[in-house]
Structures are given as C-alpha cells and as structure tokens.
Structure 1
C-alpha cells in the first residue's frame, strides 16, 4: 500500500453536521471567491511600516481613521521606494490593490501595485468639501450653540497624555478657580487611532451627569497632525452631544472643523481655561463691588425716604392738623350767616310784594264794593253751575237765587213781580 496521502475526495455541494467540509476546502472556496474580486482603490492611514533592506516586499498596515478597522498591505519594494516623500506612520495614502487570501494562514491582505500619498492640498480640499457639507446640514448654525454654565460642577477634558495642552488647561483653570473638578481622559490626538479613542472618550463624558462641559484640547501642529479634528464622524458626534463642547485646538490660525461644530471655539488651551471657569479674584471683587453698591443704594434710599418724611411732617396739614379745620369752620359760619341774611332779605321782599298785591286785590275786589251796600246775585244754570245774574231775563219763576253780601250769603226764590220794576 502506498504511504502517500490519499487524494482529496470530490467536494460535496453542501455541508452538514454529518458531512462537514475540511478546513482546506473552506479556505480554498474563500480564496477562489476573493481572487475573483477586481482591484480597488483604498484610502486610509499608515499605522505600521516594515520595509527591511534586502527584502523584495514591504509590509504596511492600513487603518480607517474613523473606525477601529485595519488591513495588511503588501507591495513590491520598488513601489514603496518610489513614493515621495517617503511614507511614515500616520500618513494618509491612497492604495490601488487587489484583495488576496493566504490559505496557509487564513489571512486576508491587499496586494498593492500603486501607492499615492495624499498631499496637503488634497487634504485641505477634502476638509473644505466636508465643511460645506456640514454647513449645509446646519451643524455650524449659531442657534445650535449652547451657552456654557457660569460655574460647571464638573469639566471633562479630552487631550493627549502629559501634553502641554493638558497642563495649560488644568493649571490655568485651577489658578482661576481652585475648587474646579476635572475628569481627564487621555487619548491619541493625532494618527489613525485618535478618532476612535476620542469618540469613545466623548461618549463616556457625555453620559456622565457630573460633567457639564467637555473640552477638546491640543497644541498646534501641521494639517496632517490636526486632521483627526476635522473628521466627519467626530464632528457629527460632537453635534449630537448633550453636553456643551469647547474646542481648544492648536493656535489662533488653526481652524479644524471641530471649531465650527463646537458650542465655543477657543484660540488656545489657555484661552479655554479662561472661558470655562470664572476668576475667583474677579468674582470676589465683583461681589464686594455689588455689596458696596447695594449698601450705597440702601443708604441713599433710606436718606431719600427720611427727607420725604421730614418734608411731610413739616407741612401745615401735619404740623397743625386742627388749624385748617378751624379756618374752614370760620368760613362755614361766615357763609352760613351770609346765606341767612340773603334768605331773610328775600323773605322780606316777597312779603312786601304779597302785602302790596293783597292791598290791590282788596281795593279792586268785590268785598269792598259789597261793604258799601252792594250784593252779588247768582243763579243755577241748566247744568247746576252758579252763574252771576246780570239780567232778569235769565230768571224764571220759582228759581232759587244766592245773594252774597259783605258779611255772608242768603238764598231767595223768584216770585212774579211788576214788569215795570224790571225796567
């Protein structure tokens, strides 16, 4: 019997628990499928470079700047040497490569035949395109900016470990307000691992109820160094944060996209420490000033009210309250006397007029005539009303007459008489 291993049996179309596929079969199928893929252009950041002298192949690690994903890249040494400037860790590149699967190690990698370094101009152009996109979505709008609390009870700081930016923020802030509380998370602030680490730190601090302000702090650097702070994923995460965000990146001329998305942009980390906490000396002086102003205002108000009370007390109505009443009483009595005299005068005048009218009525009335022997004879008409008798023709025999004289009246009856007497 031959000692050579048996040839591989035909592969079944499907696998099961009773008829599983061997590892080599799975690896071959994966390799066949991957090898059918065409070449692709891939963009990322170099995190590791291994190009030993005397070898024919350079090994690179390409990482996504916005996610914790990386792939191995191999290329011929001549492709690696032709790149100007030489590649270094953290550089952004564009690779034209074909996916390759190594069956022996079960490893997927990219076989590159062209590598292009992303220049500063291209980086700036990409940042400008992203800036326009985010601005169009309203992430830079001023109405989105939130006001920082006057004195936050906790401040989150995302910065590099033992960096000058961390020292500037902590030292200056604690010098201004000694009891300020910081929660510092150190992350990478440049390179391919910076964005994922900063996103994780932002999520932790934003979920902490003790943190009321979050500060991103970093010193100055080149466009490539500050590239993570213009990353789209980081900008969108900052725009969605509940906690107000302060951007203190680089120096005054530096302006990554994070500056536009953050609620407050500070020119330097030192400027951020002055903006996030008040100065205890200035606030103490302001309290003293306000207390002095309050004291002066209160004293001024008391003095004004005292003068007003003194003026009120010096007025006659308060200094001699009965004097005006007495004077008004005299005026009332005077007017009352005048009214009495006016009434008496009017009464006397009317009484004289009445007496004059009475005398005229007496002289002209029938009473005076009847006193001289005259009488007034009245008879009843058909309606029973008394009428003055002016002619005997108005009488009939037997009619009742009323004869009024000066001292009274008597009744009489008409009797036949001599017609001549009537004439």
Structure 2
C-alpha cells in the first residue's frame, strides 16, 4: 500500500496529487475477467471508443465500461440484455475522477452466447433472401385442410384445435405429432413438414409450440429446419413460444403468429364474424339500392312535372298552330301576289291589244295587199284593174282596182 498523504487545513494536498495517487493505485489492480449483464450499449457513429454499462446478475451493482470498435466487432452480434464476460482494466478518469473500466475483450456467455449464435445465423440467412417479404405467400381464406405440427397432448395442440373449431366448426385438421424440444426435435419437425407438404388435402401448415426458455426453443432456430420451411410449397404459419420469442423459423415462415391461439385465429375465419360481415354487406347493398330507387323515383317525378311530359302533344300542337299560321300567311301572300300579277297581265294584255292591228281592224279599217302579200300603204304604183286583197277583222276580201285617185296633199 502506498504511504498515506500528509495533509492539514494549513497544508492541504492539491487535488491533482490526490487524483493521480488514486489513479495509480487503482490501475495497479491489473486486468480481470468479469461477468455481468449488458444493460446499455452506446455505439457512436464514426467514434473509436464506445460506452457500455454492465450490471451484476444478482446485486444492484453496475459500472461503465469503454470498448473500442475492434473489440465490439470481434465480440460478434451482441445486444442489450445479453449476459457477457469481459476482460477489463479499472482506471480513473483524470478529468472528472470517475471510475471506469477499459474492456480489451468481450464475449457472450450463457444464453447470450446462444443468442449471439442465433443472431449470426439470422444475418447469414437474411443475406440469402430467406426472410424476403416478397416471397411470402398469402394464406387461403378457407383452407380445405389444415396441417398441424405440435407435441402430442400439448396445450398448443388443444388451443389450436379448440379455437379453430370454435371459429369455423367445419375446419378439418391433419395432425402430425413431433418432439418439440431437445434431441430429435429438428428431425421430427422436418419430417412432419415434408409429409404435410406432400399431402394434397393440406392447404396450410401450422407449426405450434408453447413458450419456453432459449434452450427449449433453440431447435426452431436450426438452419436446416429454416431451409425446410423455406422449401415448402404449402404456406407455413409459425406459432412458436410467446410474443417476445422470435426463433428463426418465425422469420422464414409465410406468417408469424404470436401464440398458438393466435395461429388458430389466423388460419380460419370466424364464422360469426363472416356472417356479421355478410349481413352488414347485405344491409349496405340494400340501403344503396333503396337510395338508388328513391333517386330514380324522384327523377321520374321531376320529369313527369315538366310540360313536355305533362302534355306530350302540347309542343306538337304549338308547332301545328305555327305551321297553320305559316300556311295561312303563305296562302294570303300567294293570293296577293297572284292578284298583283293578274292585274299586271291584264294591263299588259290591254296594252298589247291596243297596239294590235286587229284592234284597228275592229274599228273598221282594212289592210290592203297585192297578190304577193305585200302591204299597200300608198296609191303610188297601183294601176286600175290590179287585183288586191283586203284583210278585215272577220275575213279577207278580193277586189280589183277600178280607179286610182291619189291625194294631192298627202299631209
């Protein structure tokens, strides 16, 4: 032990001297392997040093631990809540005098080691695409047959059968019993999967088991079982453990159920529920049809109140009256035009008759012509004894000139 520092109120020791003394004394303890539960992990992006908090598994004791990125990466997949063992070296921070532990090696232990191995397996299978949501198939609405893989006489079998039959009494199960934990579990479940997958009566397969420890559920994180589920042509529902349990088979299956009871609720519909939905749908259809009929009735009533439907011949009568009026106007216009044209024709005829030679003949005149038909309008060139023709209003006279007496003053 280092000698105690001499100090008094008159001669106190500087804080740095005391802190360095404590730091040197603590760091002389060297490295030691400790076990505990990882309750907090703060990985800072881009930082070299990260902070962890370890707690004793029994006593309410916790310490702060620092670890480099290389130490955390070498530890594999670790998460809060896991049990770990760490090689630590105690030290005192000079800046604030806090006690810390520098970790140079970190390993999962107990269940933590199992969880780390499972986590590493998950990452590998995920990289291969076994968890891809796009490959998961939809469950049939009402399966012809349900394959059930579970332990013989187990509570999981009782829950699935009772709940499913209560929801849909006509559901048919094909049950295959298997060892659901420990040695032989993986082989039994794989064989049952293969048998049910080949059965044409089975439309969906349920793998059900109640809760248990990490070790009890470890077979359902087996790589070969996960690949067997992935290879199934029939949709698979995984109902392993309780809500917090997530074995690898849950991630590969087409549907993860929180519990066996939840699987029974998902594999078949509730007949009462479906009947209620059908009644609701029927009520909605009936209400929609009544609304449609009422709307169309209102439309018909509205159309019937319109003048064109109240008196269908009304528009025809209106047009007929218009046509009759137009006919009367046309008749009047034609009559007036005919009168005007008739008067014009009469005037033209009167003028033509006034200018016609016949009118002159009717007044007692005659038209003289020689034998050749040439009109004689003068005594010149006419000889006594020359035959002439006189055209009268009612006929022709043949005459002979007996004497010619020309007028001395023709004017």
TM-score of the pair, normalised by structure 1 = 0.53
- Once the two structures are superposed, residues 7-42 of structure 1 have per-residue CA deviations (whole angstroms, 9 ceiling, x without a partner) of xxxxxxxxxxxxxxxxxxxxxxxxxxxxxxxxxxxx
Compute the displacement of 1:199 (Å).
Answer: 0.7
Is the partner of 1:192 in helix, strand or coil?
coil
Which of 116, 121, 127 aligns to 1:125? It is: 116
Q: Which deviates more, 335-344 or 147-156?
A: 335-344
Partner of residue 137, structure 1? 128
Task: Name the CA distance, whole Å, in 2 between partners of 1:142 and 1:357.
Answer: 108
Q: Pairwise mapping of residues 6-85 of structure 1 onto structure 2 (< 5 A)?
A: none
Partner of residue 375, structure 2? none
Compute the displacement of 1:251 (Å).
Answer: 1.0
Q: Pairwise mapping of residues 197-346 of structure 1 onto structure 2 (< 5 A)?
A: 197-343=188-334
- Once the two structures are superposed, residues 358-411 of structure 1 have per-residue CA deviations (whole angstroms, 9 ceiling, x without a partner) of 999999x9x9xxxxxxxxxxxxxxxxxxxxxxxxxxxxxxxxxxxxxxxxxxxx
Task: Name the CA distance, whole Å, in 2 between partners of 1:358 and 1:236.
Answer: 123
Task: Name the CA distance, whole Å, in 2 between partners of 1:164 and 1:202.
Answer: 20
Task: Name the CA distance, whole Å, in 2 between partners of 1:139 and 1:347.
Answer: 105
Is the partner of 1:248 in helix, strand or coil?
strand
Q: Which runs of 5+ in 2 are unaligned?
A: 1-107, 358-411
Compute the displacement of 1:150 (Å).
Answer: 1.3
Q: Pairwise mapping of residues 177-192 of structure 1 onto structure 2 (< 5 A)?
A: 177-192=168-183
- Once the two structures are superposed, residues 111-147 of structure 1 have per-residue CA deviations (whole angstroms, 9 ceiling, x without a partner) of xxxxxx9843333232222212222222211111111
Compute the displacement of 1:314 (Å).
Answer: 4.1
Q: Which runs of 5+ in 1 are unaligned?
A: 1-116, 368-423
Is the partner of 1:225 in helix, strand or coil?
helix
Partner of residue 158, structure 1? 149
TM-score of the pair, normalised by structure 2 = 0.55
Is the partner of 2:175 in helix, strand or coil?
strand
Is the partner of 1:301 in helix, strand or coil?
helix
Computed over aligned residues only, the root mean square deviation of the Cα atoms, in angstroms, reads: 3.6
Task: Name the CA distance, whole Å, in 1 between partners of 2:227 and 2:338.
Answer: 106
Task: Name the CA distance, whole Å, in 2 between partners of 1:248 and 1:326.
Answer: 83
Q: Which deviates more, 241-250 or 119-128?
A: 119-128
- Once the two structures are superposed, residues 306-327 of structure 1 have per-residue CA deviations (whole angstroms, 9 ceiling, x without a partner) of 3434444444434433333222
Task: Name the CA distance, whole Å, in 2 between partners of 1:230 and 1:283.
Answer: 36
- Once the two structures are superposed, residues 314-343 of structure 1 have per-residue CA deviations (whole angstroms, 9 ceiling, x without a partner) of 444344333332222111111222234445
Q: Which deviates more, 190-199 or 281-290?
A: 281-290
Is the partner of 1:214 in helix, strand or coil?
strand
